[in-house]
Amino acid sequence: MTDLMLIIEDELLFGSELQRHYQRMGWDVVWMQDLTSARQTLNEKQLNPLIVLSDMNLPDGNGLDLLEEMQKKQQYNEWIFLTGYGSVPDSVRALRVGAYDFLTKPCDQGRLDVVVAGAARSARAQRRIQEESSSRTKHFSLNAFIGRSKQALQAREMLQKLAQVPFSVLIITGETGTGKGLAAHILHHSGSRCSGPLVEINCAALPHELLESELFGHEAGAFTGAKGRRRGLMEQADGGTLFLDEISEINLELQAKLLKAIEERTVRRLGGNNEIHIDIQVIAATNQNLKQDVEKGRFRADLYHRLSVFQLELPALHTRREDIHDLVPHFINEYNIKAGKHIKRLSEEAWQKLTQHQWPGNVRELRNVIERCVLFSNDDLLPDQWLQLSPMPTSTAHMEGNKICLPLDGSMALDDMDRHIIETALERNRYNVTATARALGTTRETLRYRISKYKLKQRVSQGRE
Highest mean predicted confidence (pLDDT) among 9-13, 221-225, 414-418: 9-13
Band (5; pLDDT cuts 50, 70, 90)? very high
Q: Work out whether the CA dihedral 17, 22, 27, 32 comes out positive or negative.
A: negative
C-alpha atoms less than 13 angstroms from C-alpha of 16 in its C-beta half-sphere? 2
How many C-beta neighbours within 10 Å does residue 164 have? 11
C-alpha atoms less than 13 angstroms from C-alpha of 207 in its C-beta half-sphere? 2
Average pLDDT over residues 56-72: 86
Band (261; pLDDT cuts 50, 70, 90)? very high
Cα(275)–Cα(419) distance, integer angstroms? 50
In this predicted structure, which of 36-50, 80-94, 260-274 has the lowest mean pLDDT? 80-94
Architecture, CATH, for domain 393-460? Orthogonal Bundle (1.10)
What backbone phi and psi angles, to 5 degrees, belong to 447?
-65, -40
In this predicted structure, which of 1-10, 130-139, 154-163, 313-322 has the lowest mean pLDDT? 130-139
Instruction: Please tell me if the domain spanning 4-136 has the same topology as the one spanning 146-313.
Output: yes
- pLDDT at 394 (0 to 100): 46
Contact between residue 170 and residue 312 where contact means Cβ atoms under 8 Å apart:
yes
- pLDDT at 135 (0 to 100): 63
Cα(421)–Cα(440) distance, integer angstroms? 9
Contact between residue 34 and residue 10 where contact means Cβ atoms under 8 Å apart:
yes
How do residues 439-464 score in pLDDT, each as one tens digit? 888 888 888 888 887 777 655 654 44
% of the chain residues with pLDDT over 70: 92
Amino acid at site 142: L
In this predicted structure, which of 43-52, 194-203, 359-368 has the lowest mean pLDDT? 43-52
- pLDDT at 228 (0 to 100): 76
How do residues 377-429 score in pLDDT, each as one tens digit? 999 999 988 998 865 444 455 555 567 777 776 666 777 788 888 888 888 88
Average pLDDT over residues 92-113: 84
Where exactly are the structural domains of the chain? 4-136, 146-313, 317-386, 393-460
CATH H-level, domain 146-313: superfamily: P-loop containing nucleotide triphosphate hydrolases (3.40.50.300)
- pLDDT at 256 (0 to 100): 94
- pLDDT at 402 (0 to 100): 65
- pLDDT at 395 (0 to 100): 43
Contact between residue 306 and residue 262 where contact means Cβ atoms under 8 Å apart:
yes
Closest CA to 369 of 407, 393, 360, 392: 360
Band (30; pLDDT cuts 50, 70, 90)? very high
CATH H-level, domain 4-136: superfamily: Response regulator (3.40.50.2300)
Distances from the Cα of 84 to the Cα of 6, 9, 36, 76, 237, angstroms:
19, 12, 21, 27, 43
- pLDDT at 209 (0 to 100): 78
CATH assignment of 317-386, among 3.40.50.150, 3.40.605.10, 1.10.8.60, 1.10.287.90: 1.10.8.60
H or E element at residue 283: strand 281-286
459 against 85, higher pLDDT:
85
- pLDDT at 358 (0 to 100): 87
